[in-house]
Amino acid sequence: MSDTTHDAVRKRRKGDAASASPNGPERLLERYRAARERRSVWESHWQECYDHALPNGQPFRGGGTPGERRVDRLFDGTAPDAVEQLAASLLAELTPPWSRWFGLQPGPSLPDGERDRVAPMLDRAAGIVQAHVDRSNFAVEIHQAFLDLVTVGTACLLMEEAPPGAASSLRFTAVPLAEAVLEEGADGRLDGTFRRSEATLAQIERRFPGAALPDEVRERGAAEPDGRFPLVEAVLPDGLAYRWTVVLDSGPADPATLAEGRFAQSPFINFRWLKAPGETYGRSPVMKALPDIKTANKVVELVLKNASIAVTGIWQADDDGVLNPATIRLVPGTIIPKAVGSAGLTPLANPGRFDVSQLVLDDLRARIRHALLADRLGPLDQPRMTATEVVERSAEMARLLGATYGRLQAELLTPLVLRAVGILRRRGEIPDIAVDGRTVALQHRSPLAQAQAQRDVQATLRWLDTARQLGPEALSAVDVAATARWLGEAFGVPAKLVRAEAPHG
């Protein structure tokens, strides 16, 4: 089924029958509010994670805009720094910009002769898809989505088709979790998405020309040109496809459907860091480290207070009629009067020292960086590494991110490539191919995927060394050409560099 949203978007006037139907605007808004109510139990926890690890983001409740200063009690920057490092590491290990991090290869159902014939064509198609991804704003938006993923455990990436004539056919938007309300499907994936946004009447008419709007909305829009109306955009599974609906939640007036259509793949790509049984939204490494993050923040606050006391001191004085303690300012060059024979202004001894705070703070910061993988995936202190160190570091990354990478591969990388292939195939940029895993398979070539494939390659190379040591009879059992082709696939070598298998006979 092709993606026909941009080809034919059907707009219709809302009637009584449409409102009463299961897909009517009123039922859709009821489903959205129910899903948002289920999400509300997470919002306070998410807000706390944002305040300590990614401050001044878009709030979940109440007014405010991204970037607005709302956090004045943040004293320690260990967690925000570690979050940025982990997000940058995910970008470099999963989707490195201007690098081939995926490929298309013949599936297992194709015979050997057919595989050799279509392999170069699939390699060229993968290069075209990669070029469109590189020319788009993908690198910018996916990094923002990774920041959400590391901070709150769930992220949403919107993938749309760009207008004709643009440099790339793909356009991406990192949707803040404050706008996205998600539903989990029967297969455990977040395939139902609601997005709430606001727009003026002029923006609504420009985006949805010819849409039937209630008279109350038009009157308010004419009286208040800058007034904004809430829109609820829903993409929900409908059989093997997805149904797209945009509803105007006009308050006292009846809700109106502005547009609707169908997608072969959902444009909203929702993915999680870690999922606990029975939960819809994901959990993040910041959630795990939040007790240490809050404690370190409090320790730094106490250290600063103690430092201010050490600098200015605590003083006592007798109110003898000459010295007025309320008017004293401890600045250089100040002359403080006192009565003859009185003690005047005397310092008060500090009852204790706070030297142990540095030991506690170092331990807390080390645990925070360990929980956010900053001490494992960060830059190296040594400028050079041996080959063994490279292999061991890759194995360590694969072990640490193994479960997370498997989830991101299923929920982010595979849906993203499939939707990109669908858009470019429909626009005629690539041949009409179906990446179904049987005739055409998706190959992951990111650095983290290559690190996991190194184990199979090392095992094969050890087997070849062992066969060579056993003598010529053992080497006769090795198909050298087939082994070379397999190693080429494992290393992600382009198909045009691998010679096709010679015909037998």
Structural tokens at position 376 = 């494992």
> Is 237 exposed, middle or buried (CB count within 10 Å of its CB: 0-12, 13-18, 19+)?
middle
Residue 491 amino acid letter:
F
In the predicted model, what is the mean pLDDT of the chain? Answer: 83
DSSP at 501: P
Which H or E run includes 78? helix 78-94
Residue for token digits 């201007």? Answer: 98
Tokens standing for residue 144: 């923002």
Round to whole Å and give the CA distance between 116 and 495.
Answer: 9
Q: Identify the pLDDT of residue 476.
A: 81
SS3 state at 243: strand
Identify the weakest region by mean pLDDT among 265-269, 367-371, 410-414, 472-476.
472-476
Tell me the pLDDT tens digit for each residue of 343-395.
666 766 665 555 667 778 999 999 999 999 887 765 555 556 665 666 666 66
List the chain domain ranges.
1-74+192-265, 77-151+355-505, 287-354
Of the ranges 76-85, 194-203, 371-380, which one carries the lowest mean pLDDT score? 371-380
Give the single-character DSSP code of 503.
P
Cβ burial 274-298 (10 Å sphere, 16+ → b, else e): bbeeeebbbbbbbbebbebbbbbbe
**Sign of the alpha-carbon torsion through 172, 431, 440, 97:** negative
SS3 268: strand
Q: What is the pLDDT of residues 17-58, one digit of tens each?
A: 444 456 688 999 999 999 999 999 999 999 999 999 998 777
Distance CA 271, CA 477 (A): 45
As a whole-number percent, the residues of the chain with pLDDT over 70 amount to 78
pLDDT confidence of residue 391: 62
Q: Taking Cα atoms as reference points, which of 505, 496, 501, 502 lies closest to residue 124?
A: 496
Closest among 426, 436, 433, 431 to 5, alpha carbons compared: 426
**What letter does residue 411 receive in the DSSP assignment?**
I
Give the pair of three-digit tokens for residue 505: 């006979």
Q: Which residue has the higher pLDDT, 94 or 56?
A: 94
pLDDT at 489: 75
| Residue 62 phi, psi dihedral angles, 5° rounding | 80, -175
Of 53, 129, 54, nearest to 95 (Cα)? 129
Enclosing H/E stretch for 393: helix 387-400
Residue that is written with structure tokens 């606001």 in the block: 198
Q: What does the pLDDT look like over 309-333, one tens digit per residue?
A: 777 766 766 666 666 777 777 666 6
Residue count of the chain, please give it. 505
Q: Is the per-residue pLDDT at 242 higher than 50?
A: yes
Predicted confidence (pLDDT) per residue in 212-227, tens digit: 888 888 888 889 888 8
pLDDT band at 68 (very low <50, low <70, confident <90, very high): low
| Most confident listed range (132-136, 201-205, 327-331) | 132-136
Looking at residue 377, what is its pLDDT? 60
Q: Looking up tokens 């809050």, which residue turns up?
A: 294
Strand order in the sheet with 256-263: 180-183, 192-200, 228-238, 241-248, 256-263
| pTM (2 d.p.) | 0.82
Distance of CA 400 to the CA centre of its chain: 18
The whole-number pLDDT of residue 246 equals 94
How far, in Å, CA of 457 to CA of 479, rounded? 16
Q: So what's the pLDDT on residue 22?
A: 61
Mean pLDDT of 109-121: 85
Q: Angle 486-491-493 (CA atoms, 0-180°, nearest 5)? A: 85
Judged against a pLDDT cut of 90, whether residue 139 lies above it is answered with: yes
Average pLDDT over residues 178-202: 91
Best-predicted range by mean pLDDT (97-101, 247-251, 252-256, 334-338) = 97-101
Q: How far apart are CA 9 and CA 153, in angstroms?
A: 34
**pLDDT value at residue 88:** 92
First to last CA, the chain: 42
| Alpha-carbon gap, residue 234 to 222, rounded angstroms | 27
- What average pLDDT does this structure show over 417-428? 95
Edge-to-edge strands, sheet with 154-161:
170-175, 154-161, 268-272
